[in-house]
Amino acid sequence: MKPIVFAMPGNETLAQSLAAHLSAEFGASEIRQFPDGESYVRLDTPVANRAVILACTLDGPDDKFLPLSFMAATARELGAAGVGLVCPYLAYMRQDRRFRPGEAITSVYFSRLLGGAFDWLVTVDPHLHRHHSLAAIVPIPTVAVHAAPLLASWVRANVRRPILIGPDSESEQWVADVAVGVGAPYVVLEKTRKGDRDVEITIPDLGANSDRIPVLVDDIISTGRTMIAAIRRLAERGYRSPVCLGVHAILAGDAYSALRDAGAASIVTCNSISHPSNAIDITGIIAAAALDLLKSPGGVA
């Protein structure tokens, strides 16, 4: 029997595209809020003995997770053969240690919630820094697909003589991969975060590469303050305006306009979170990973 892909609200394009890639059925459902703010969830497509996939990117996770887990629980109770989650952006991964006494390590707690609700998970470039793999924290089969080859193709097609720049040490895993794919040099800057919107960056001399076009590469652009600080340091040194390339376009609040005002030559992201800056389609690599999980021996579906 064909798998069924259900879309959580706002994820219809992703779910339709996944269904097409997986030769699956696009499931009908209703998810809405009662007037009191509680969630109403109904699956209209019968799920008994069928693999179910829920499509839901998890920016703004607090509002999304409760109806998402109700969907998964409903599918299970109605006899689904397995319930997987395709979430192009996986939230909460940045809080990966107790930075101050008493803080919640939400990456671990959120991972446990995912493990309790789903049988498997596919995501794109989760922010794994102190956790070395998703498997270390999420207690179900997971696949983290990497957007670096797609970012590299975009740079190759759109930027002549680039230098790839990672704004902080955490970004090195992404910028190094993209640089290899592009066949261009890269540097990693030093960042000190003093607050949510207060970031200091120091930049080395680019030497022989100073006439190249800087391409800032990061996994997440959230407040944009990391990239804005990097843009300012580049400008102070007289380097060219950078292209800002990110996997996940959180771009909270004024981040998008502030980045443009700061002097970004362009802002380009993947469609893991829907945003006007999306120019790189990650649906194909996600679908391929979901297909592998569905077919895996031992059967998650």
Q: Which is nearer to ligand R5P, 119 or 170 (CB)?
A: 170
| Shortest separation between residue 137's beta carbon and ligand R5P, angstroms | 17
Question: How near is the Cβ of 221 to ligand R5P at its closest, in Å?
Answer: 5
Going by C-alpha positions, the residue among 177, 175, 179 that lies closest to residue 191 is 175
| Residue 175 parent element (H or E) | helix 172-182
Of residues 177 through 206, those in contact with ligand R5P by CB under 6 A are: 199
Does residue 221 touch ligand R5P according to CB under 6 A? yes
Nearest to 255 by CA among 271, 269, 241: 269
User: Which 113-142 positions form the footprint of ligand R5P (CB under 6 A)?
Assistant: 127
Q: Which residues contact 42 (CB under 8 A, 6 or more apart)?
A: 29, 30, 31, 74
Q: Say how many C-beta atoms besides its own lie within 10 A of residue 231's C-beta.
A: 25
- Residues 288, 69: Cα–Cα separation, whole Å: 24
Residue 107 engages ligand R5P in binding (rule: CB under 6 A): no
Q: Of 42 and 130, which has the nearer Cβ to ligand R5P?
A: 130
Burial of 120 (0-12, 13-18, 19+ CB in 10 A): buried
Asked if 279 contacts 268 with a C-beta cutoff of 8 angstroms, the reply is yes
Q: Is 222 in the site for ligand R5P (CB under 6 A)?
A: yes
CB-nearer residue toward ligand R5P: 4 or 145: 145
Characterize the bridge pairing of strands 39-43 and 29-33: antiparallel
Stretch of 118-126, 168-176, 182-190, 260-268 lying at the interface with ligand R5P (CB under 6 A): 168-176
Which residues within the stretch 74-103 sit at the binding site for ligand R5P (CB under 6 A)?
94
Contact call for residue 259 and ligand R5P (CB under 6 A): no
Q: Would you count residue 218 as binding ligand R5P (CB under 6 A)?
A: yes
Tell me which residues in 267-286 interact with ligand R5P (CB under 6 A).
Answer: none
Interface stretch with ligand R5P, choices 8-16, 65-73, 203-211, 223-231 (CB under 6 A):
223-231
Q: How far is the CB of 222 from ligand R5P (least distance, A)?
A: 3
| Secondary element (H or E) of residue 275 | none
Q: How many CA atoms lie within 13 A of 118 on its CB side?
A: 28
DSSP state of 171: G
Total of residues contacting ligand R5P (CB under 6 A): 15
Candidates 29, 69, 171, 269; binder of ligand R5P (CB under 6 A) is 171
Q: With CA atoms as reference, report the closest residue to 300 among 135, 87, 257, 290.
A: 290
Binder among 53, 168, 213, 285 for ligand R5P (CB under 6 A): 168
- Chain contacts with ligand R5P (rule: CB under 6 A): 94, 127, 168, 170-171, 199, 218-226
